[in-house]
Structure formats: structure tokens, C-alpha cells
Amino acid sequence: MIEAPDGAIIKNIPEGAVEEEIDGQSYVVYNEVYFQPMTQNGDDVYQVVAMEAAG
């Protein structure tokens, strides 16, 4: 498995990812990596977000 660095922009989320809402912000989570949906140059992309591990 390749770990995505914080802030990396990717175009496709792997199959099996789930949507999760944290503090009113939507994220897509896959393999404990959080991605924030956004638009870049008119394309839907996802940015890797470093999240603090809960508890």
C-alpha cells in the first residue's frame, strides 16, 4: 500500500470508500485516510487531509 501524503490531490477515490461528516464538513474515508472533496480547474478532486486519531 502506498500512503498518500497530507495535502496530496487525487482524482479518484478507491471503491469501498465511505462518506463521513465531521464538524459539518464532508469527507470520504478509505483505509483510515481522509479525503476532502473539492473542485480544481472545474474537475472534482479529493485532497488528502491529516486527521488526528480519535481516542
Answer whether residue 29 is part of any domain.
yes
Q: Which domain holds residue 19?
A: 9-49
Tell me how many domains the chain contains: 1
Residues paired with residue 9 on neighbouring β-strands, in sequence order: 47
**Cα atoms in the 13 Å half-sphere on the side-chain side of 48:** 14
pLDDT of residue 14: 85
Answer whether residue 19 is part of any domain.
yes
Answer whether residue 4 is part of any domain.
no
The yes-or-no verdict on residue 43 having pLDDT over 70 is yes
Mean pLDDT (whole number) for 21-39? 94
pLDDT of residue 2: 62
The yes-or-no verdict on residue 28 having pLDDT over 90 is yes
Query: How many residues are recorded in the chain?
Result: 55
**What percentage of residues in the chain have a pLDDT greater than 90?**
71
Answer whether residue 54 is part of any domain.
no
Q: Is the dihedral of CA 19, 21, 22, 26 positive or negative?
A: positive
d(CA 18, CA 43): 20
8 A C-beta contact, residue 40 and residue 1: no
Answer whether residue 55 is part of any domain.
no
pLDDT of residue 55: 44
The yes-or-no verdict on residue 53 having pLDDT over 70 is no
